Amino acid sequence: MTTDIKTVQLFVTCLIDKFFPETGLAVVDILEALGLTVEFPLAQTCCGQPAFNAGFWDDARAMARYTIDVLAQSDAPIIIPSGSCGDMIIHHYVDLLANDPHYAAPAQAVSTRTYEFTQFLVDVLGVTDLHSTATGCVAYHASCHGLRGLGLKTQPHRLLKQVAGLEPKELPGSEECCGFGGLFAVKMSQISGAILQRKLDNIEASGADMVVGTDVSCLMHIAGGLRRRGSAINVKHIADILRER
Amino acid sequence: MAVSNVTFYERVEEALHDRQLQTALDISTTRFTTGRQNALAALPEAEALRDHARRIRAHTIAHLDRYLAQFADSVERVGGQVHWAETAAEANQIVAELALSRNVKNVVKSKSMVSEELHLNQTLEANGMKVVETDLGEYIAQLAGEKPSHIIAPVIHKTRQDVADLFRRKLQATDADLADVPHMTALARRVLRSEFLQADMGISGANFAVAETGSICLVTNEGNGRLTTTTPRLHVALLGMERLVPTLEDLGVMLQILARSATGQKTSVYTNIITGPRRTTAGQPIEPDGPDELHIVIIDNGRSQILGSELAEILYCIRCGACLNACPVYQQIGGHAYNSVYQGPVGSVVTPGLYGLDPWHELPQASTLCGACREVCPVRINIPRMLLKLRSETAEAGLNPDWLKRGLRLYRQTVVRPGWYHLGGQLTSWLSRKIADNGWFKKLPGPLSGWTDHRDFLAPAKKSFSQRWREEREQ
C-alpha cells in the first residue's frame, strides 16, 4: 500500500444494511485485510437519494444534513459500496446545500473525502489483486451512476480480472441501464419492466452464470427479474466475489 | 399546444404492446447509436470538438440578444426581411399574411421542427392553401395523418410495409412502384417533383443561423431543402430564436458534430448555406436561381421563458436526436408516447419548459436518470440535472400523487431518527419473513405492486448489517 491511510469510515447504504448485510461484512473484511481500521458510525441511515430523485428536495436536504453530521464524527475517508449513493454524496449534496450557510462547507468536505468502494481500492490504494478466488463465468453490469456519475469505467474490471478461477463473459449492452431508476421502477413500472427485459435477455445471451456489479440496487432489480423468469443465474455485489480467498 | 385525453400511461402501454413499433425502434436506435459511436471514434479530435461546440453554444445563448440583433441586421443587408414572432399565433399570422398578400396557392415545406410547434400547416390550409411536406419522412407522416415520432427520423415508427400500404392507398401506387425501396422513393420523388414545380412558396426551418453573415444553414439528406428554398418565388424560413452561431467558422464546428451525432454520417448529403434571396442588379437577376424574396421569421414561443430559468442550458441543443437514440426509455416507448413535438430526454425538458409543467409533468418523470443522454449529447447538456430540477418544481407545485408525498415525508422523519429507522427496519423484516415466499415476494400491496408486476422483490435480511455490527463489534 502506498498511502498513509490507516482508518476509513464505512457508509454502508440503506439497501446493503437492510437487505444485503453479508455484502457489508465482505466490504469490511476486504478493507481490514488490507490493514485498515474500519469505523462504522451506527447512527447512519439513508443518504436521501430517493427523495432527491423524486424532486422532494427539502426532504432530501434534511437527510443530507443528517448524514453529513453523522459522517462528521471522524475525518477518515468515507467508503461507500455503491456508485449511486456515492454520486449522491459526492455530487448532489454539494449542489443541494450550496446555499446553506451552515452546511455548504461541510457538504464540500464530505464530498472530497468520499469514495466508491472499487474506486478507493484501485485509484486511492492502488490495489487490484486481492488474492481472491471464485469459480464461474461472470458478466459485469455497469451501474449508471457509478459509470457516468463517478467514472467507474475500468476499476471493477481490473479487480475482477485478478480473481483466480473466474471466467469473464462479455455482456452485450453492459453499460445500458437496467431500468431500475429508484422510484421510477414503481411509478413507471411498465417502462422499467420493459427495459429490464432487455437487460435480462442480454444477461442470458452472455453465457454467464453470475452477474456482478457495484450497486445492490440495480442487482436487486436484476435478481428479481431473473428469479421471475426462473433463471438460475446468480447475482452478486463485487465485494462478495472479492472477499472469497 | 393541444393535449389529448389519452394519458401518458395509456400511450406508453400502447407503445409497449405494439410489436411492429418495438422492432422498428430496436433496429433504428441501434443503427443510429452504433453509427454515432463509430463516426466519433474515427475522429481523433471528437472530444475537443464537443467541448468547443459547447463553448460556442454557451457563449451564443449568454449573448443571444446581441447576436439576434446582429443576425437581423445582416439578413437585411443581404436583401432578406426579418419578422419577429413572440407566440405561435403571431408566427402563423405572419406566414399566412405573407402568403395571402402574394397570392400563394401551393406551399412546399422542408423539414422544420419549429413549424410543428406552430401547427402551421393547419393555418395555411384553413386559408385555402395546399401544403406539402417534402422531407420523405415528413411526407409519409403527412400522408398517414400522423405526427413525427423522432426529431430527425420522423417515421422511425413505420416499417417498409406500412409505407407501401400507405402509398397504395394515398398515391394509387402499383405493385411495380412498390417493388423495393428504390422504386418507392422514386415514386415519392416523382410526386414531389411536380409539387416543387407548382409551388409559389417554400417554407424551411434552419439548423443554424449565422449572425455575422445573415445566412441560414440547412442540412438534409434528400435535397428537398435545396428545392424548397430555390424553386418557389417566395422563401420563408422559420427560425427558433436560439439557433444562432456567431460566425461561419463556428458553423463549421457545429457541422462537424451534427451529422456524426445524429446519423453517424461525416456530413449530411446536402449542406445549404443560404445568404439572402436571388441577387439582382438594377432589378435584373444576376443569379440563375433562388427566390425573389426571403423572409426569416424568428420565433420565441416560450424560449425566452426558458432562457431566464435554470433550464437555459437546454437551448444549447442542436437537435441531433442522439439523446433519443441512447435513452433506454425512448428505446422502449418511441416518440408518440411523449405526445409532444420534442420527444425523448431533450423533449422531456423542452416541452415543460415551453408549455409549463401542467399537463407535461409526467415527462421529466419518464427517466431512470441513467445519464446516457448527457453522455452522448454533442454539446454535453446536463439533461439529468434539468429533469431533476423539473421534478423538484413538480413537487413544489403539488403535482405528485398523495401516496408519494406522504410516503416520502414519513421516510424523511424516519431517516433522521436512527432509533425509529432501525426499529422500523426490524419490524418490516420480521413481518416480511412471515409472509414472504422463501425470502422473496411475488406480490406487493398498493403502489408497490408496480415492482412485483415485473420482478420479484427480495425480503429484508433477518438481521441488518447494523445489528450484526453492534452485536459482533460493539460488545
Q: Which three cell numbers stand for residue B25?
A: 425502434
pLDDT digits (tens, 9 = 90+) for A209-240: 999 999 999 999 999 999 999 999 999 999 99
Cβ distance of A191 and B416 shorter than 8 Å = no
Residue B128: what residue type?
G
Query: Who among B329, B421, B464 is closest to A21 (CB)?
Result: B464
Same structural domain, A118 and A133: no
- pLDDT exceeds 70 at position B3: no
* A223 inside 8 A of chain B by CB: yes
pLDDT digits (tens, 9 = 90+) for A111-162: 999 999 999 999 999 999 999 999 999 999 999 999 999 999 999 999 999 9
Burial zone of B96 (CB within 10 Å; 0-12 exposed, 13-18 middle, 19+ buried): middle
Contacting residues of A for B454, CB less than 8 Å apart: 189-190, 192-193, 196, 225, 228
pLDDT digits (tens, 9 = 90+) for B133-182: 999 999 999 999 999 988 888 998 888 899 999 999 999 999 999 999 99
Distance CA B75, CA B214 (A): 4
Contacting residues of B for A66, CB less than 8 Å apart: 415-416
Contact B250, B67 (CB under 8 A): no
Helix axes A189-206, A216-229, angle to 10 degrees: 80
Q: Is residue A1 part of a domain?
A: no
Same structural domain, A238 and A134: yes
* B395 inside 8 A of chain A by CB: yes
* B408 inside 8 A of chain A by CB: yes
User: How far separated are the first and last CA of chain A, in Å rounded?
Assistant: 19
Distance CA A55, CA B411 (A): 14
pLDDT at B474: 78
Last residue of a domain, one of A74, A94, A123: A123
pLDDT category at B475 given cuts 50, 70, 90 is: low
Host H or E run for residue A238: helix A238-243
Q: Which three cell numbers stand for residue A79?
A: 467508503
* B105 inside 8 A of chain A by CB: no
Cβ distance of A188 and B456 shorter than 8 Å = no
* B403 inside 8 A of chain A by CB: no
CATH class of the structural domain B43-301? alpha beta
Last residue of a domain, one of A123, A143, A163: A123
Closest CA to A127 of A57, A63, A34, A212: A34
Q: How long a stretch of residues is chain A?
A: 245
> Structural domain of residue A47, as residue ranges?
7-123
Contacting residues of A for B372, CB less than 8 Å apart: 144, 148, 176-177
Distance CA A190, CA A186 (A): 9
pLDDT mean over B87-113: 97
Cβ distance of A148 and B371 shorter than 8 Å = yes
- pLDDT exceeds 80 at position A2: no
Same structural domain, A162 and A238: yes
- pLDDT exceeds 90 at position B1: no
Same structural domain, A82 and A115: yes
Chain center to CA of B122: 21
Same structural domain, A98 and A134: no
Q: Is residue A73 part of a domain?
A: yes
Same structural domain, A27 and A73: yes
Distance CA B288, CA B279 (A): 9
pLDDT at B151: 85
Cβ distance of B421 and A45 shorter than 8 Å = yes
- Residue bearing cell 481500521: A37
Contacting residues of A for B439, CB less than 8 Å apart: none
Q: Is residue A182 part of a domain?
A: yes
Number of domains present in the structure of chain A: 2
Same structural domain, A170 and A231: yes
Residue B85 bridge partners (DSSP): B299
Q: Which residue of B has its CA nearest to A53?
A: B388
CA distances from B88 to B237, B239, B334 (A): 14, 12, 26
Contacts 24+ apart (CB under 8 A), B78-81: B78/B213, B78/B214, B78/B275, B78/B276, B79/B276, B79/B277, B79/B279, B79/B294, B80/B214, B80/B276, B80/B277, B80/B294, B80/B295, B80/B296, B81/B293, B81/B294, B81/B295, B81/B296
CA distances from A68 to A59, B125, B367 (A): 14, 62, 28
Compute the nearest-CA separation of B326 from chain A (Å). 9
Host H or E run for residue B219: strand B215-220
- pLDDT exceeds 70 at position A7: yes
Host H or E run for residue B432: helix B418-435
Query: Who among B365, B458, B465 is closest to A223 (CB)?
Result: B458
Contact B290, B277 (CB under 8 A): yes
Same structural domain, A119 and A41: yes
- pLDDT exceeds 60 at position B363: yes
Contact B447, A186 (CB under 8 A): yes
pLDDT digits (tens, 9 = 90+) for B240-252: 999 999 999 999 9
- pLDDT exceeds 70 at position A1: no
Contact A15, B459 (CB under 8 A): no
Last residue of a domain, one of A90, A123, A156: A123
- Half-sphere exposure of residue B304: CA atoms within 13 angstroms, side-chain side: 11
Bin B97: left if φ > 0, else alpha if -120 < ψ < 50, else beta.
alpha
pLDDT mean over B219-246: 96
Q: Which three cell numbers stand for residue A240?
A: 462478495
ipTM comes to 0.97
Contacting residues of A for B330, CB less than 8 Å apart: none
* B450 inside 8 A of chain A by CB: yes
Contacting residues of B for A184, CB less than 8 Å apart: 365, 367-369
pLDDT digits (tens, 9 = 90+) for B276-323: 999 999 889 999 889 999 999 999 999 999 999 999 999 999 999 999
Same structural domain, A225 and A137: yes
Q: Which three cell numbers stand for residue B269?
A: 448529403
Compute the nearest-CA separation of B344 from chain A (Å). 13
Contacting residues of A for B463, CB less than 8 Å apart: 21
Closest CA to B220 of B209, B207, B211, B232: B207
- pLDDT exceeds 90 at position B398: yes
Quote the mean pLDDT of chain B.
95
Cβ distance of A189 and B371 shorter than 8 Å = no
Contact B349, B386 (CB under 8 A): yes
Same structural domain, A51 and A90: yes
Could you write out the three-class secondary structure of A20-54?
A: CHHHHHHHHHHHHHCCCEEECCCCCCCCCHHHHHH
Contacting residues of B for A62, CB less than 8 Å apart: 412, 416
Suggest the residue from B12, B455, B463 to mutate for an interface test with chain A (most A CBs closer than 10 A).
B455
Same structural domain, A88 and A12: yes
The dihedrals phi and psi of A168, each to the nearest 5 degrees, come to -75, 140
Distance CA B276, CA B75 (A): 7
* B27 inside 8 A of chain A by CB: no
CB proximity under 8 Å: A 130-159 to B: 144-145, 147-149
Q: Is residue A163 part of a domain?
A: yes
Contacting residues of A for B456, CB less than 8 Å apart: 224-225, 227-228
Q: Is residue A134 part of a domain?
A: yes
CB proximity under 8 Å: B 244-303 to A: none
Contacting residues of A for B9, CB less than 8 Å apart: 188, 190
Burial zone of A204 (CB within 10 Å; 0-12 exposed, 13-18 middle, 19+ buried): middle
Distance CA B242, CA B61 (A): 7
Cβ distance of B458 and A224 shorter than 8 Å = yes
- pLDDT exceeds 60 at position B2: no
Same structural domain, A90 and A74: yes
Cβ distance of A224 and B456 shorter than 8 Å = yes
pLDDT at B473: 87
Exposure b/e, B58-80, CB count within 10 A at least 16 = b = bebbeebeebbebbbebbeeeeb
What CATH number is associated with residue A147? Answer: 3.40.50
Domain ranges of chain B: 43-301, 402-473
* B466 inside 8 A of chain A by CB: yes
Cβ distance of B388 and A52 shorter than 8 Å = yes
Distance CA B312, CA B304 (A): 9
Cβ distance of B404 and A44 shorter than 8 Å = no
Contacting residues of A for B331, CB less than 8 Å apart: 195, 198
